[in-house]
Amino acid sequence: MIGSRIKTTLLLAVLTAVLIWIGGMFGGRGGMFVAFLLAIVMNGASYWFSDKIVLAMYHAQPIEEFQNPQLFQTVRELAAEAGLPVPRVYVIPQQTPNAFATGRNPEHAAVAVTEGILRILTPSELKGVLGHELGHVRNRDILISSIAATLAGAIMILASMARWAAIFGGFGGRDDREGGIFGLLFTAILAPVAATMIQLAISRNREYLADQTGARLSHNPESLARALEKLEASSKRLPMDASPSTAHMFIVNPLSGKTLAGLFSTHPPIEERIRRLRSMH
């Protein structure tokens, strides 16, 4: 718990520093002050509302038990096995099979699955996937993951603004000061890289741990391994309509079928994840 809080604090501090730096590139000291105020607002919003923001991004719809009794029963069984409150359940209206968990703590957690994953997985494979997601909840990964998604998205938006400013000559004559158009171009290129590198730092090892936790909760590592094989193959055939700022939240990289996605992969190699699962006894 303490380690999770430290990681969350460090993440907020680093992303805040990046936001302030971008503000400085836009408007000097005044821009840095505005960016600092923006960072304070965004940090608060990220903590309290990051789950709602991410769910809204994917048009995830809450469902009731009568709409999918088997899905709810599986979630309830896994939550009991993990000693967790039963999370809210959402369905994402996309055919690419995938899933993620979000929320600031286990008492406010949500699990979201796509329509596609409900269509292609067997009940035991789906249980493995849901076990993985509840593994993130149990391991308290979901807050830092959701905050990273929200703030990294904000950094990418600001970087996009910087890119357009560079194209159209900057703001208020600043192209003659402090680097001008080159500084804005540098910001536009580096800020998304910085956001992605922060995501990489928090994502890869936690996927292995969530796989291990999920396999133990579902009592079937092989089912999760088979599910990962199916999800990876489907994602390559039909990349998900997903934002790079939230790619790290999904059980498999939703952008794996896109040409440049491998440059900044937010997930460890799927083959290694499967190998580790199949080596579990």
Residues carrying an active site annotation:
133
What separation in angstroms does the CA of 203 have from each of 109, 141, 198, 206, 226? 18, 9, 9, 6, 21
Dist CA 124 CA 97 (whole Å): 15
Q: At what angle do helices 2-57 and 180-218 cross, to 10 degrees?
A: 100
Strands 88-92 and 99-102: unpaired
100: number of Cβ within 10 Å: 30
In terms of residues, how long is the chain? 281
Alpha helices in 219-278, H assignment, sequence order: 221-237, 270-278
Task: Identify the CA nearest to 135 among candidates 203, 205, 213.
Answer: 213
Dist CA 248 CA 148 (whole Å): 9
Task: Identify the CA nearest to 10 among candidates 41, 43, 32.
Answer: 43
